[in-house]
Amino acid sequence: MTIEARKIRLIMHLRKSGVVDTAVLSALERIPREAFLPSSFHDQAYEDMALPIGLGQTISQPLVVALMTQELRVGDRLKVLEIGTGSGYQTAVLSKLARRVYTIERHRPLLKAAEAVLEQLRIRNVTTRCADGTRGWPEQAPFDRVIVTAAAQGEVPKDLTDQLAVGGVLVIPVAVDRRDQRVVRVTRTPDGLEREELWPVRFVPLIPEPPDSPGGRAE
């Protein structure tokens, strides 16, 4: 089966699994997932599964990427903050939907690799930073949308909700205990924050401070 045929099969699977936003489906169809994977996993690029990318991290399952992006409700005039660049795949999908994407990764080698792929794909509306994602990006706040691709432990980081614009939406996995993680959507209203629990997931934990910059930010 050709890459194109595998991609079409995956898109059909996503539609059947509840991804109804045509802009999100189009974005996933336009992004070559294999570009964000080690060559040994290229043949699995369009299977609906998470795959390793090094340093104990993974590229997320396409269905999870699609559903979380759909819940984010991104528009082409919006500014998005992504916490957890990883391979850059989710970043690339967001770049096709948003005006501007700001993305933070704590592992510098992963960030450098993601930057190289984004450059190769000529994706120009992304700004990157190696830093502690739990602190957000206050210099660029407020954000219309925030998405986190690692699980917060118990509570949504206050720095992230503080950086939401009024009307802004944050989508984040939250770990209730060691076994139970759920995607949560937080919306900032003029009166405060509204929180909705969506569905169970499994993500690596959201950890403060970059590993190569103990106690502070790495720029």
Q: What residue has token string 């403060």?
A: 208
Tens-place pLDDT, residues 162-215: 999 999 999 999 998 778 999 999 999 999 999 999 999 989 889 887 665 543
d(CA 111, CA 104): 8
Flag the least confident range among 47-61, 123-137, 145-159, 205-219: 205-219
DSSP code of 136? -
d(CA 133, CA 206): 8
d(CA 74, CA 56): 29
What per-residue confidence (pLDDT) applies to 179? 80
What per-residue confidence (pLDDT) applies to 217? 36
d(CA 5, CA 135): 41
- Active site (annotated) includes residue 60: yes
d(CA 197, CA 211): 30
d(CA 192, CA 23): 29
- Mean pLDDT in the chain? 93
Active-site residue identified among 17, 40, 60, 87: 60
Higher pLDDT, 176 or 112: 112
- Taking residues 33-50, what's their average pLDDT? 96
pLDDT tier for residue 15 given thresholds of 50, 70 and 90: very high
What residues does each domain of the chain span? 3-201
CATH 3.40.50.150 fits 3-201, yes or no: yes
Helices assigned H by DSSP within the chain? 3-16, 22-30, 62-72, 89-95, 108-120, 158-162
Burial class (CB in 10 A: 0-12, 13-18, 19+), 7: buried
- Taking residues 61-87, what's their average pLDDT? 97
d(CA 162, CA 143): 10
AA letter at 150: A
Higher pLDDT, 31 or 207: 31
Task: Answer whether the bond into residue 142 is a cis peptide, omega within 30°.
Answer: yes
CA within 13 Å, CB half, 117: 22
What CA–CA distances, in Å, run from 17 to 48, 97, 172?
11, 21, 20
Tens-place pLDDT, residues 88-109: 999 999 999 999 999 999 999 9
What per-residue confidence (pLDDT) applies to 151? 93
